[in-house]
Amino acid sequence: MGAGPAGSMASKDSGPEGRELFGIADLAEEFGITTRTIRFYENKNLIHPARVNGSRVYTRRDRARLALILRAKTIGSSLVQISHFLDLYGEQGEGRAEQMDYVVRETTKAIAELEMKQELIRDTLKELREIRQGCMERLPGYTPADNSHKV
């Protein structure tokens, strides 16, 4: 089965931010990934775009969801983990206390894991800064507390 275009002629606006609906190529370009990757995520049930004439159409919510996925990936989560993540983000609306309790427990776990990662990163950063500092001191033309070209 094929589908139609959703090319440069956007559904409503043409600005990159004022848009409401997006084609798969738009999102791919915006996030610097391939359409294959986006379709792969859909296959893994991470995003559920609408279909128009067989073509995928993404809302802002879909786009935000994709952004969440990519952010989580950068942090080091697997797609399976991300899938559970996304459930938490979606589930807040309503639901019985049972569901709420579940979300509370899961978010608590996720928070704990991220806090641990945060600590590991902090430690690593400290070490890297020490290494860099040690190197700089051995570099010719070094003067202690050289903040002349500080960032």
Q: Please report, as ranges, the residues that interact with its own copies according to CB under 8 A.
A: 71-72, 74-77, 88-89, 92, 97, 100-101, 103-104, 107-108, 110-111, 114-118, 120-125, 127-129, 131-132, 134-136, 138-140
Pick 35 or 59: Cβ nearer DNA: 35
Residues that bind DNA (CB under 7 A): 1-9, 23-26, 33-37, 39-40, 44, 53-56, 73, 78-80
Pick 3 or 114: Cβ nearer its own copies: 114
CB of 122 to its own copies, least distance (A): 8
Pick 3 or 120: Cβ nearer its own copies: 120
Pick 3 or 125: Cβ nearer DNA: 3
CB of 43 to its own copies, least distance (A): 23
Pick 25 or 103: Cβ nearer DNA: 25
3-state SS string for the chain = CCCCCCCCCCCCCCCCCCCCEECHHHHHHHHCCCHHHHHHHHHCCCCCCEEECCEEEEEHHHHHHHHHHHHHHHHCCCHHHHHHHHHHHHHCCCCCHHHHHHHHHHHHHHHHHHHHHHHHHHHHHHHHHHHHHHHHHHCCCCCCCCCCCCC
Residue 118 interacting entry, from DNA, its own copies, none, C-beta within 5 to 8 Å by type = its own copies
The contacts of residue 45 (CB under 8 Å, 6+ apart) are 83
CB of 88 to its own copies, least distance (A): 6
